[in-house]
């Protein structure tokens, strides 16, 4: 049985209390590893190591930082099958998606490594002669990164890769459900040559470790992906300390199907969007808004395809849907299914905890489809599970209105062959991401990722925006006139 301590100043050490916890396979309850249970004292130690390493890392040439990330990406590519299996065992997503999680991590590390040769600023003319104006991007300092369990390789790489290439030192807290993936990622970065103290990992609870990271006075910036309530709590506490905060929170993502859509393609898309990762994505398709003219056909086809999905051991490549990630997740999802029934939504299929055989050892829920009315709680609140609401709309305008009438704005989708409506939807859908004739999931790492409203606070991850989250901008004025020049003040 593997055991992992905290990773501080380049060493694996026990927590201050000596306590540990287990990480388990949600498909069968198998214990995968024992992980150190960190506390505030450990966060203080991690922050101290980060502070000491920061001057060296800031001066480390950015292209050389990029070489380290490229080496890590190469190792992950070489070990992709093994790492994908680890993701599947610890998180529960099917093996193809487990490998996809790793591939996304590889893609981002390769992409962000290139920023080591860019870190672009601006140059502009001055209003005065013999003077030049420019901007530089500089690291913030010590940053805290708190990551979720649903993408245990990809999301940490999004945050850590961008923070490190920019020259920051990092205190990292991974989700307690998937610490083995995080520990393995640390090993890979260490092997790639990351200097001691630049990246420090403290595993443990949000109440102890997460809170200590948020409150630590020398951790100047926070990057968090998770639930809205936790995000708001972090944001409010960090505001009193004038910390920069990047939040990527929830979603209630719509897929619109117009009457001229390629129906089979739309059905294929919503199956993957709603039930991929057992619906445990912030970008999961949780609402299917269908034009009334094609509603009966779409309903019939989606039910037929959903009932045929194979649910079981996620390591089996023939399986379509694996378990949800934990007993707590299972309980929450089943409670929302009961809420839907009580609200009067028609449960068309699924929605039950599966029992017998392998199901008795894990957390398996049959994918659920409700025929629902807009305004029901199941159509407005994030469930984060394999639950889809099927909603009828009389035309494009009503479909857009329903799509936008939620507190979130992460991802969105429309299926139509009408070029006019496609471009209109790009403008009308209130979301940070919009897909045309594709499901609401499947972000590519070279485009910014994030959302509107309660999905976050305006920060974008990935793409050209990734570096902005972890850098300060400095304006520089170089006067080579050899005399005092006063901007905005006329010469006497």
Q: Which among 248, 382, 461, 469 is annotated as catalytic? A: 248
Euclidean distance between CA atoms 382 and 191, whole angstroms: 39
409 and 432 in contact (C-beta within 8 Å)? yes
3-state SS class at 309: coil
3-state SS class at 268: helix
β-bridge mates for residue 223, sequence order: 145, 246
Q: How far is CA 93 from CA 87, 306, 363, 388, 442, in A?
A: 7, 17, 12, 18, 15
**346-349 vs 368-371, strand pairing mode:** antiparallel
Tokens of 427: 């403008």
Measured in degrees and rounded to the nearest 5, phi and psi for residue 156 equal: -55, -40
372 and 378 in contact (C-beta within 8 Å)? yes
Work out the burial of residue 162: count CB atoms within 10 Å of its CB; fewer than 13 is exposed, 13-18 middle, 19 or more buried. Answer: buried
Euclidean distance between CA atoms 353 and 331, whole angstroms: 10
Q: How far is CA 209 from CA 36, 42, 53, 107, 221, in A?
A: 12, 8, 21, 29, 16
β-bridge mates for residue 145, sequence order: 172, 223
Question: Is 282 noted as a catalytic residue in this protein?
Answer: yes
Question: Is 248 noted as a catalytic residue in this protein?
Answer: yes
Q: Which among 115, 282, 330, 461 is annotated as catalytic? A: 282
Q: For residue 157, how many C-alpha atoms fall within 13 Å in the half-sphere facing its CB?
A: 29
292 and 323 in contact (C-beta within 8 Å)? no
Beta strands in 372-436 (DSSP E): 387-393, 408-409, 411-415, 433-436
**221-225 vs 123-125, strand pairing mode:** unpaired
Work out the burial of residue 420: count CB atoms within 10 Å of its CB; fewer than 13 is exposed, 13-18 middle, 19 or more buried. Answer: exposed
Residue among 360, 15, 433 nearest 202 (CA): 15
295: which residues sit within 8 A by CB, 6+ positions away? 392
Measured in degrees and rounded to the nearest 5, phi and psi for residue 54 equal: -60, -50
Which residues are tagged catalytic? 248, 282
């Amino acid at each position: 049985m593997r055991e992992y301590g905290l990773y501080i100043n380049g060493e694996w050490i026990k927590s201050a209390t000596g306590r540990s916890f287990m990480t388990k396979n949600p498909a069968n309850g198998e214990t995968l590893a024992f992980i150190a249970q960190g506390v505030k004292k450990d966060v203080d130690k991690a922050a101290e190591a980060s502070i000491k390493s920061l001057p060296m890392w800031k001066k480390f040439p950015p292209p050389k930082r990029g070489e380290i990330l490229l080496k890590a990406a190469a190792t992950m590519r070489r070990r992709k099958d093994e790492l994908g299996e680890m993701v599947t065992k610890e998180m529960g997503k099917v093996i193809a998606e487990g490998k996809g999680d790793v591939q996304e991590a590889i893609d981002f590390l390769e992409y962000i490594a290139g920023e080591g040769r860019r870190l672009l600023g601006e140059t502009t003319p001055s209003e005065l002669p013999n003077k030049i104006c420019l901007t530089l991007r500089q690291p913030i300092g010590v940053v805290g990164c708190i990551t979720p369990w649903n993408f245990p390789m990809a999301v940490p790489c999004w945050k850590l890769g961008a923070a490190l290439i920019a020259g920051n030192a990092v205190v990292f807290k991974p989700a307690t459900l998937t610490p083995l993936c995080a520990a393995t990622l640390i090993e890979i970065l260490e092997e790639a040559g990351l200097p001691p103290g630049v990246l420090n990992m403290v595993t443990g609870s949000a109440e102890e470790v997460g809170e200590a990271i948020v409150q630590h006075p020398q951790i100047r910036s926070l990057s968090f992906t998770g639930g809205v309530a936790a995000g708001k709590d972090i944001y409010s506490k960090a505001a009193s300390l004038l910390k920069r905060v990047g939040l990527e929170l929830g979603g209630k993502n719509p897929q619109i199907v117009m009457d001229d859509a390629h129906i089979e393609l739309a059905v294929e898309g919503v199956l993957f969007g709603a039930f991929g990762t057992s619906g445990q994505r912030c970008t999961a398709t949780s609402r299917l808004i269908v034009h009334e003219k094609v509603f009966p056909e779409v309903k019939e086809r989606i039910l037929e395809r959903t009932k045929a999905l194979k649910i079981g051991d996620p390591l089996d490549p023939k399986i379509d849907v694996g378990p949800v990630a934990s007993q707590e997740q299972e309980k929450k999802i089943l409670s929302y299914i009961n809420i839907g029934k009580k609200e009067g939504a028609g449960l068309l299929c699924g929605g039950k905890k599966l029992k017998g055989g392998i199901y008795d050892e894990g957390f398996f829920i049959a994918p659920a489809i409700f025929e629902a009315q807009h305004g029901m709680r199941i159509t407005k609140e994030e469930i984060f599970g394999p639950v889809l609401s099927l909603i009828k709309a009389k035309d494009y305008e009503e479909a857009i209105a329903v799509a936008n009438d939620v507190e979130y704005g992460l991802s969105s989708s429309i299926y139509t062959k009408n070029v006019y409506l496609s471009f209109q939807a790009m403008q009308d859908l209130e979301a940070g991401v919009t897909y045309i004739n594709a499901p609401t999931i499947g972000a590519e790492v070279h485009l910014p990722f994030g959302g509107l409203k309660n999905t976050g606070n305006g920060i974008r991850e990935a793409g050209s925006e990734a570096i902005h989250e972890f850098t300060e901008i400095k304006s520089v004025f170089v006067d080579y006139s050899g005399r005092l020049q006063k901007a905005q003040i006329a010469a006497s």
